[in-house]
Chains A and B, each alone.
Chain A
Amino acid sequence: MAIEHNDLSGGLRHIVLSGRLDFHGVEKIIGQLSSLLTASGSNALIDLTQATLICSMGIRALILNAKNMQQRGRRMALVVDDGTIVSTTLKSVGIDSLLPVFTSLPDAKKAMLQ
């Protein structure tokens, strides 16, 4: 599991999670993910297009961080490739009704920078 980020102009932090968001993967990145989300003061785009699996713990991490962001008056959205295991899992638990979920990075950037 790897985590990378870059700050886009307009106040948007793009965080890319790649690999398996299983128990070990989440444990490895959870601290850094929370820090990256809280430290910048920006809205955030979590890019899961390179994530190959997401388990309940990964879903919990997303919900927890989204709630923290909301409490700080900031927005968080997801980018997920359609038809993947990650997309199916997120849809099956209804994450798309809690957070904006985009299937294309340019669309996500456009929406979040508006």
Chain B
Amino acid sequence: MEVSYEDIPPNLRRIKLAGRLDIQGTEMISARFAALSTESRRNVLVDFTGVTFLASIGIRALISNAKAVHKLGGRMVLVVGDNTSVARTLAATGIDVLLQMFTNLDDAEKALSGVAA
């Protein structure tokens, strides 16, 4: 499991997750994922296009970080690209009701541009 990020001016952080978000994968990145989500006090775009599997523990980490971002006055959105298996899991559990989900990175960035963090 890998996590990387890029800060996009003026107030957006893109966090890219790659690999399996199963128990082991989530444990490997959860502290860094949480820190990256909140430390910059920016809006956060979580890129799931490289995630090959998403387990409940990964969903839990996502909800927890989204809540932390929201508490700081920011917003979190998700990009799934053409990753249908992850998109289906997120939709099946209702995460798409809580967090806006995009198939296209540009659309996600556009949705967050102009949203104060």
Q: Which of B63, B64, B89 has the most CB of A within 10 A?
A: B63
Q: How many residues of A contact B (CB 8 A)?
A: 16
Q: How many residues of B contact A (CB 8 A)?
A: 17
A60→B59 contact, CB < 8 A = no
The answer to whether A92 has its CB under 8 Å from any CB of chain B is yes
B98→A94 contact, CB < 8 A = no
A94→B97 contact, CB < 8 A = no
How many residue pairs bridge A and B at CB < 8 Å?
A: 45
Q: Which of B59, B60, B91, B93 has the most CB of A within 10 A?
A: B93
A43-94 interface (Cβ within 8 A of B): 56-57, 59-64, 67, 89, 91-94
B19-78 interface (Cβ within 8 A of A): 56-57, 59-64, 67
B60→A56 contact, CB < 8 A = no
Question: With A56-B89, A57-B92, A97-B67 in contact, do A63 and B60 touch (Cβ < 8 Å)?
Answer: no
Interface residues of A (CB under 8 A from B): 56-57, 59-64, 67, 89, 91-94, 97-98
Show 30 residue pairs from A and B whose CB-CB distance is below 8 angstroms, ordered by the A residue. A56-B89, A56-B92, A56-B93, A59-B93, A60-B91, A60-B93, A62-B94, A63-B98, A64-B94, A64-B97, A67-B97, A67-B98, A89-B56, A91-B60, A92-B56, A92-B57, A93-B56, A93-B59, A93-B60, A93-B63, A93-B93, A94-B60, A94-B61, A94-B62, A94-B63, A97-B60, A97-B63, A97-B64, A97-B67, A98-B63
